[in-house]
Chain A
Amino acid sequence: MNASALDFAQTRFVLPPDAKVLPVAELSARARTRIGALADDQSVVTRHGFRVTARLIPPPLAELLGEFRTPSRITDGVLRFALARGQDPQALLDAAFDALATMVEGRFLVPEDASDAAAPGASLAAGQEFAGFEIEAAVRSLDDSEVFRARAPDGKAVALKIAREGRPEVHAILAHEAQVLQRLGGRDSPVLYALGTHAGCDFLAMEWCSGVSIGVAAQTRRAAGDRPGLHALVVRLLLAYGRLHGCGVLHGDIHPGNCVVRDDGRVVILDFGHARAISSAPAGIDLARTGISQFHDPQMARALLDGAVTPAATPASEQYAIAALAYLLLTGLHPIDAPAIRDELLARIATRPPLPFAARGVPAWPAVEQVLRRAMSHEPEQRFTNVGAMARAFAAADTFSLGRRSLPPSPFTRAFNAAVGDVRRVAPMRRFRRDQTWFALRAALALGDAELLAAADLLAARTGHGWGACTVAAKVAQARSNIRAEGGAITSFLAATETLAGGPPLAQALLAASRILEGTSPRCIESERLAAWGARCVDRLLPDDRHRACAQPPAEPLYLLAALALARTGRVPTPRPLASRVEALARTGRGGVWLWALAHDVFASDRFRTLALSTTLPPAPLMRSFALLRRYQLTGEPRLLLAARRATRADAPGLPDGATALLAAELLAPETALPPPFRSIFGVPVRWAPMPRHAVASIAAAIPGTT
């Protein structure tokens, strides 16, 4: 719809009944985590079944939209809203007009007599006949078209795409798709059966390809821990797209929903409505170019961000999208980590490389990652010459199997086995019960060991009532999928932190809270209370005081670390002064590996990554190893993993066995390794950042009972 062609003064607009305006506070915790931390009073407006992009809107606009549940002219709606709230209607109209126009452009407000003022439903039912095809089931109903599974007179299963009445623009799309399918002749694509018009509706009939989405096929191989199978699946995908390009066709809308894997494993590419011939692709611009943002290449993302005309798709831009899809299939995660805010995502695509697998908590796969990095180079000329070449490079990459994880024979093994034996015997340590339980949990997670987890559960019940013990209990409950126990542990955690006035003790507890929030179940109601407590406490630690004296408190790195850790969970809004205070700290040269690594995660800035990789490593062997593991997670570089092993082996003759055993457990799954969120572990101090000597002394004095 062209909003500029409408008469905004006289047209009566309606917010259609199917349009949902959902307050962020009412979304599930999982959905909110996906969107990113936002103020709870914002709302999401969406329309299911329409080709519209959901948008975030501020509270006044959400309320103003409510005025259009009954058809109204813009001026009438604004007038009613303003009078009901004692506001100046003219001022309000001036302030709100652009936002309302955006709602009209986004098809959330539509003219009352428009065809899309009502929710689209299926126009045909099972058993009905259409153009000689018997309808079996409705697959998808959109505002401009429908898709049905049907049966041809000869018994063949058919996918039937039908344009809705009064949507002549769909005819060109169907005709174009038919032309492409004919050209492909059923290779890696459905076979074309018919293109025609019936009862005034254009339709396209093609082969019904039974199977599952390639996303599901990949998920199945990932769940089985079957890297060779996953590799083989992605090779088939790349070869199929390579052949498509070889036929001179660009697909134009790459995402997992457009690839089906048949029962025999063949990959079929679907939906050629946006396809175009490579030879006929305009060299410069394509105003009709579409697609899902996660699969845009950097040039397209930049154009959309700048509001510039969009560049035409090319084999190189499509190679980027195919590599992004391959990354998603291999890891279950998108290559660019961003909140579900479109402009933020586009900015990151435009400026950032794909994250290493280890940075997403996925075991590194260096040979495969190297191929994907090249295919996702920001400069198109640095990518592979074509998708076929990419497919060959990918096929040649090492397909090692993950298998069961074990420690190589080393000094770690003795300490690890001894500590595991103690846990299995439920022989609690007299001094370090909390730390032993933490070890039991981390070892259980690294080994996937049910018995160790059961023992951790017993130990956790006898660990005590401090916030550190409650953190361990909450994490054990999470690993046990025991929501009730998790809720109980969080309630105890909040009770245990009531006496914390502020300063370093509070920051340390916030760090622990971030760990709980990172793995909490969306069904655990108490996690909402914990997140709210975290938000309040961070505001206390980092007050939004723009006139604050410039001097940084001695524990500034710890405060910022806690705030960043909470922000990364996506459950707590990023406090306003965080960015500037992190910048200020960066100028002083203080901070440590974890702080800069977290700043990199939260602000997506490569400068912080550089700082994390160049800052001084902690001198103490345990934290030095953990710091090297964190650097490994940032880069996926195997040499850093090796260095983490060596750091403790070479330098730590006096390291307690418990600490050595814990490090061994973390080395079993280095992509998820993390230091414990306590002040000390098995008597070894956990120092997150280099601090002046006097600050260390004052912090230690201020945190009684946490060691």
Chain B
Amino acid sequence: MSRAALEMVARDEPSEPVRVARWLYRYGSLPRTAAHERDFGPDDEPLAVLGLSGGGAVRRRLEAAYEASSLPGWYSFTRVGQPMQRVAACKLYVSPVPEALPDAFAPIVDALIAADVRSFKVGRGIEGLLRPDKLVAYFDDPDQMPRAVQALKRRLRGCPAQGVPFTADAGCDGLLSSGVDPPPGGAAASWRAWITARLADSLVAKRCRAPPDTVAAVLGDLRAAGIDTERWQAQAATSTRPAPPP
């Protein structure tokens, strides 16, 4: 998927890094259709589909352990008594297709509760649920993530995945993947923002070549910068110990 995105944009002979970065970041978002508008509902109505409306079973479960807050584009859930804004050691993307969410969201929440996840967020509105990185769980301790991954794998067997480009596969055919945000204070706020900006700069710089050569050169650039472009993570990372972008 990540490779397909690079090949597609390389054929377009990109010239504006900011526009290319934005396009790469949005790659994998599903089209918003009239059926989504009607069945998920406008504004915050998609909450109902997740079981988060008044009386909803998931809401009742979450209320017991998490505090909810709304952010632009997101709903955030933080363990009761934990500070919301803290730098996470790593994060896990959970990416079911939107149609799977009505049935998958409850088991996802159960798994995150069981794994004692400190906080997680879910996309707000239809556009939030159509994006690939619609649900992100944060971990203070990298050792905690495998436990959550196992819990999610058990509960989400057969769940159709949308997949998050440019993130490290963590199982279930793209349903689970991970990333590590750059240290705070940098230009990019997240792993995906960081990697897509780097890719865009490189794509524009190498654009005079034939598209396959451009992609190969771009991936070479990234590898030279310390990124494993097969796993889409820092080369310093190991299977048990994630690492931030170099």
| Interface, chain A (partner B; CB < 8 A) | 30, 210-213, 216, 219-226, 260, 263, 331-333, 361-362, 424-427, 444-445, 448-451, 453-455, 457-458, 461-462, 478-482, 519, 522, 672
Contact = CB atoms under 8 A, between A and B. Distances in A.
A450 B29 contact: yes
A260 B57 CA distance: 13
A220 B99 contact: no
B8 A445 contact: no
Nearest to A447: B31
B126 interface: yes
Given A458-B8, A481-B127, A216 B31 contact: no
A220 B49 contact: yes
B18 interface: no
Contacts, number: 116
B130 A481 contact: yes
Given A216-B56, A222-B39, 17 more contacts: A213-B55, A216-B48, A224-B99, A225-B99, A332-B38, A361-B38, A445-B31, A453-B29, A454-B23, A458-B9, A458-B12, A462-B12, A479-B32, A479-B33, A480-B32, A481-B127, A519-B34
A223 B39 contact: yes
B190 interface: no
A223 B101 contact: yes
Interface of chain B, main secondary structure: helix
Contacts of A448: 30-31, 33
B40 interface: yes
Nearest to B100: A224
Contacts of B33: 445, 448, 479, 672
B28 interface: yes
A453 B38 contact: no
A365 to B, nearest CB: 14
22 contacts: A210-B55, A211-B55, A213-B55, A216-B48, A216-B56, A220-B51, A222-B39, A223-B101, A224-B99, A332-B38, A332-B41, A426-B8, A426-B11, A445-B33, A448-B30, A450-B27, A450-B29, A451-B8, A454-B8, A457-B23, A458-B23, A481-B130
Contacts of B127: 481
B40 A424 contact: no
Contacts of B60: 210
Contacts of B182: none
B12 A220 contact: no
B38 A333 contact: yes
Contacts of B100: 224
Contacts of B49: 219-220, 223
A457 B32 CA distance: 13
Contact of B39 (A332, A445, A454, A478): A332
Contacts of A455: 8
Contacts of B51: 212, 220
B23 to A, nearest CB: 7
- Listed from nearest, the 9 A-B pairs whose CB atoms lie closest are A481-B127, A222-B39, A224-B102, A479-B31, A426-B11, A216-B48, A223-B49, A220-B102, A223-B39
Interface in B1-48: 4-5, 8-9, 11-12, 19, 23, 26-35, 38-42, 45-46, 48
A444 B56 contact: no
A467 B100 CA distance: 38
A547 B47 CA distance: 55
A75 B1 CA distance: 74
Contacts of A213: 53, 55
B63 interface: no
Contacts of A461: 19
A223 B34 contact: no
B32 A481 contact: yes
A47 to B, nearest CB: 23
Contact of A221 (B8, B12, B102): B102
Contacts of B57: 212, 263
Nearest to A30: B42
Nearest to B47: A216
Contacts of B31: 444-445, 448-450, 453, 479-480
Contacts of A333: 38
Contacts of B54: 212
B103 interface: yes
B98 interface: yes
A695 to B, nearest CB: 34
B126 to A, nearest CB: 7
Given A445-B31, A449-B31, A224 B23 contact: no
Contacts of A212: 48, 51, 53-57
B27 A454 contact: yes
